[in-house]
Structure 1
Amino acid sequence: MQRTVDSGPFPPSPPPSTTDPAVIAAHDWAAFDAVEKMVDHWERPGWSGDTRAYYWMLTIPEESPLVGHMRQCQRALAHFGFDDIAPDGLHLTLGRIGLVGEIGGDRLDRLTADAQQRVSGRFTLRAIPLSASRGAIRYSVAPWRPLLDLYQMLHEVGARHGLPFRKPAAVFRPHMGIAYSNRTLPAAGVRAALRPLRELDPVDVLVEQAHLVVLRREARAYRWNVARTLHLAPC
């Protein structure tokens, strides 16, 4: 059976502005508007039930207003049967640095201590409803600039410790997923369902920490345990 992989950066190109929320959201939607079919997110090479990998990510507390906003959107899309992200699972993935078992704890300590000396201040992200990729329903986020700076710093610090991100900053497309597609289906019907949700107000989230986590897959969901934490400086 042919595998339907949601691969490559999406959107394929970055937006013309990495700071303007309206431009970023419009760019994400234009990219999804060109998608004919959604695919099965879970048909991804290199992952199994036994895979454990270290990722840097931002996590959203369950008590955040954004989680209630996400649940509202998930309920509106329930008839598609997507695999919803759990209330304690909302996150923004930065990138992967390696497999568990290949990286010792002392090395993680040195990496985190080095990154902590270079991390910049806290910032606010705006989660903008609602768009999609080939394999997931997601929020656009803005601005990208502090995320790109954080990504580049972690990539450079990681490289000094032999633990760079697997992908360069040029293909990083910040977003926050709320549900995963679990089959192939026409994208036109999904777009029609998303359009009224795009009229909802955006939600601002204060980013105070970044976490290095041990990521795993359980059934059709991502779960993690926090291994190390970076604390962003007060503004």
Structure 2
Amino acid sequence: MTCVTTREEESLSARWEAYQRADRLTNHWYWRPGWRPARTFYTWHLTFKNQPDLHRLVAEIQSGLPTEALDLVPLSGLHLTVQGLGFADEVSGEDITHIVEAARDRCAQLPSFEINLGPVDPDAEGIGLLVRPWDKLTQLRTAIRDAIASVWSRVPEDVEFRPHITVAYSGANAPSGEIVASLRPLRRLRPVSLQVEAVELIELRRNDREYVWDTVDAIHLCGSLSR
């Protein structure tokens, strides 16, 4: 299993220390700029439909969390955000076609790779899993960003990237003490590993207190069993 690098270890430690000092959670479900009910957003994600080891770990974590102030993510909703593209009513079908073609060309040059998920890595808006190593995921994201740049003059979102998978969102501005206590033993659960073989362009929407999506296209990496 791949070891945690210094950068990842420092991030995990700093975020845990900050989480323990915070008195209250931050409600995740406020409307970000541009978002509104029924509006959808194109974004590149990793999704985890057929990953039993990850599903077992997430279920064990979720069973140990108090749920009064947390919204548990359904196993079908687990995802890793790679790169946003834009609101569906602002992106043309022609641009989608060209960006997907460019992404397919670039990702075909990248080998599939293993990532490790865990330990628990929380912040005020939710409970996540540390994802490591970051370098392979950053390389994948760079390929997607380069594909977008081949079609558009400006690539959305910051270059900075902290990969993570959320297992529960903070649903209220509630006291954090009980959740901090529940996380201490959960942080000792053994991480799991899985193989990244594809990245998906999805059309994302917020359905009450849950993210759901339709897959627009899937881009497979070199060496993927699905190719």
* Matched residue, 2:100: 112
Greater CA drift, 213-222 or 101-110: 101-110
* Matched residue, 1:205: 194
Structure 2: which 5+ runs fail to align?
A: none
2: distance between equivalents of 1:199 and 1:95? 30
1: distance between equivalents of 2:121 and 2:68? 15
* Matched residue, 2:47: 59
Normalised to the residue count of structure 2, the TM-score between the two structures is 0.87
* Matched residue, 2:79: 91
Change (3 A) 1:163 1:103: farther
Contact 1:62/1:87, CA 8 A, preserved across alignment: no
Contact 1:24/1:142, CA 8 A, preserved across alignment: no
Greater CA drift, 97-106 or 217-226: 97-106
**Equivalent position amino acid for 1:33 in 2:** Q
**1:195 to 2:191 alignment:** no
Aligned-pair CA distance for 1:86: 0.8
2: distance between equivalents of 1:219 and 1:155? 30
Change (3 A) 1:86 1:123: same
Deviation sequence 1:43-96 (CA, Å, 0-9, x none): 133322221010001001144320121111111114434111111111101121
Equivalent pairs, count: 218
* Matched residue, 1:225: 214
* Matched residue, 2:26: 39
**1:161 to 2:151 alignment:** yes
Normalised to the residue count of structure 1, the TM-score between the two structures is 0.85
Change (3 A) 1:54 1:181: same
Contact 1:84/1:180, CA 8 A, preserved across alignment: yes
Contact 1:155/1:164, CA 8 A, preserved across alignment: no
RMSD (Å), alpha carbons: 2.1
1: distance between equivalents of 2:153 and 2:129? 29
* Matched residue, 2:61: 73
Aligned-pair CA distance for 1:164: 5.3
Which among 116, 134, 141 is matched to residue 124 of structure 2? 134
Greater CA drift, 182-191 or 129-138: 182-191
Secondary structure of 2:144's aligned partner? helix
* Matched residue, 1:146: 136
2: distance between equivalents of 1:223 and 1:204? 24
Structure 1: which 5+ runs fail to align?
A: 1-14
**Equivalent position amino acid for 2:89 in 1:** G
Aligned-pair CA distance for 1:34: 4.1
Deviation sequence 1:101-154 (CA, Å, 0-9, x none): 222223212111111211211111111121211101110111000111111221
Q: Percent identity?
A: 28
Change (3 A) 1:191 1:100: same
